Amino acid sequence: MEIKIPTVIITGASGFIGRNLLDDLKNEYRIFAIARRSQSECNAPFHPNIAWIRADISDNESIAQAFREIKTAGGADYLFHLAAFYEFGGDNCPEYKTTNVDGTHNVLELAKDLNLKLFVFSSSVAACAFPRPGEYLTEETPPDGEHIYAWSKRECEKLIREYSKVIPSCIVRFGAVYSDWCEYPPLYMFFNMWFSSSFRASMLAGKGQSAIPYIHIRDIISCFRQMIRHSGSLQPAQIVLACTRGSTSHLELFKIATRYYYGKPKNAILMPKPICSFGLLAMNYIGKISGNPPFERPWMRHYIDLELNVENKLTCQLLNWSPGPRHLIEPRIPYMVERLKSEPIGWHTRNQTAMRKEPARPEFKIYSVLATIEDVVVEIIIKQITEPYRRTLYPKLSDMNKTELIWFIKLFYRLILSSIHNSNRMLILNYIEMSAASRFEAGYTSEEISQFLKLMNDTITKRLEKEEEFRQFSTNLYDSISMPLEFAIDEVEQQYLNYLHQKSEPKMVEKEELPAEVLDARAQLEETIWSCLVHRK
């Protein structure tokens, strides 16, 4: 009897923490990785145990479809909810509600039916207000921070507590997560400034005592593993603090970083808080006029010389875990500096990617609406094909009984859905390549199939263009729907020429080894066709 390996869901799988968790668990767990970006786009690992599902947690239909697929495939044991929005500008962006709060609610509501052993929600110590001097944040500290990010995490933690009656759950508040490549945007910006020739290179705000707790990505992963191991003994909505004890100040970081970069530590120039506040306001005013705002924002002046000290003794006891002494930020800075010196292109690429705001992705909305209007579109196409005056255009299709015709149309419709979902415009083309000869043998002509694909394109795009929200996305509609169908029509015509040539001059054709990307597209295609067969009734 085959032993079923445990299954994990990871939302936000394309992010820094998500990718590292994927890489660590992939050999021991079956993983449903949920993300807005494609697997190749975010450089996530590929593995037979990873099922990559593109979905947006803020789009109810998109994430509901993902969970339907997960449930159909056997459900899951653990869920790590890492998907979240954060923007260093401090603006009240709508994504704090739509992605963080509403998205978390969507995921919790869908997770109710999975019978999970543990739902892990990623929060942050930044959700809490800075403690008074000499005091520490603990697992009992409320998420009482005043900025918009803290508000969103506070609302999410409320949801976790509400749903903990039906879903075993844990809230993990991270410190500042970094790697040996840095990959923590504020620290990256500090290094860029400290190692530059700018007149500001040695300036630190206030007394240089602004301090937060850090945590290496390896310790985050080991913490997650301990959560799985101890999931049965955690209290409902148990809060744990995944960070080092105490905090590390800007002055400490500056001394260590400049020592290993220059060979000896530089002397810091400490700038009084009022001067820093004025400087931040002036820099942002100039940045607003020039259209190039600085990383440093006015809200940051309120945190000069404040220390976010943490005491996480309870977490260490509950999970039998603690950050490894070799992974503390002080001994890791030399490794970061060495990465910067020896591999500067890789260093800056990784860090700039971490800072880049993800673009809007209208394809999720297109996918969501297409999934909703499938039956309507299919009926319109059936009516067009079976009109008496059009029978000469569709001789084979119009002779099908309605059940067969519905299945045939839905096959192509779902190929379009899958091509959008997987960001792979070659799915339909590959299907044509694989199936064209058998269609031609059955009596179809290239004209009939091409006309059918044109009808499909016209019907879908006209239906979507009636929606007000899609009028601004004409280019996206073309890229997602029209272009793949145009490729398919071109392939139909080419395959028909090949078919006629092979009929007149039959010959043996050597099997050609296909490139990896085509094989991957074929694998996606086979899954799509299987789905169509399962749902053909």
The pLDDT averaged over each successive group of 10 residues in the chain (537 residues) is 80 95 96 90 89 90 88 92 82 86 96 95 95 94 91 96 96 97 94 92 92 97 97 95 96 96 94 84 80 75 90 96 94 96 91 71 76 88 90 89 90 86 78 85 89 92 78 77 89 85 62 51 49 38
Mapped onto helix, strand or coil, the DSSP state of residue 366 is helix
Cβ 110 vs Cβ 88: under 8 Å: no
Q: Distances in Å between the alpha carbon of 333 and those of 137, 205, 259, 308, 473?
A: 25, 21, 10, 20, 45
Residue 369 has what pLDDT?
81
156: Cβ–Cβ under 8 A, 6 or more apart, which residues? Answer: 100, 101, 104, 121, 123
Residue 463 has what pLDDT?
86
461: Cβ–Cβ under 8 A, 6 or more apart, which residues? Answer: 477, 481, 482
Q: Which amino acid is at 430?
A: N
* Beta pairing partners, 51: 32
Token duo for residue 136: 């520490």
Report the alpha-carbon distance of residue 91 to residue 249 in Å, rounded: 25
Report the alpha-carbon distance of residue 394 to residue 533 in Å, rounded: 23
Cβ 175 vs Cβ 212: under 8 Å: yes
Residue 2 has what pLDDT?
52
**Secondary structure (DSSP) of 11-50:** ETTTSHHHHHHHHHHTTTSEEEEEESS-TTTTTPPP-TTE
Strands (E), 247-307: 248-249, 269-271
Token duo for residue 434: 């694989």
The full set of domains in the chain, from first to last, is 1-175+214-244+309-327 (3.40.50.720), 179-212+248-306+328-357 (no CATH), 362-534 (1.10.490)
Token duo for residue 254: 């500056």
Residue 536 has what pLDDT?
34
Cβ 330 vs Cβ 256: under 8 Å: yes
Give me the torsion for CA of 417, 422, 426, 432, rounded to 10°.
Answer: -40
Residue 535 has what pLDDT?
42
Residue 379 has what pLDDT?
93
Residue 527 has what pLDDT?
53
Token duo for residue 119: 């739902």
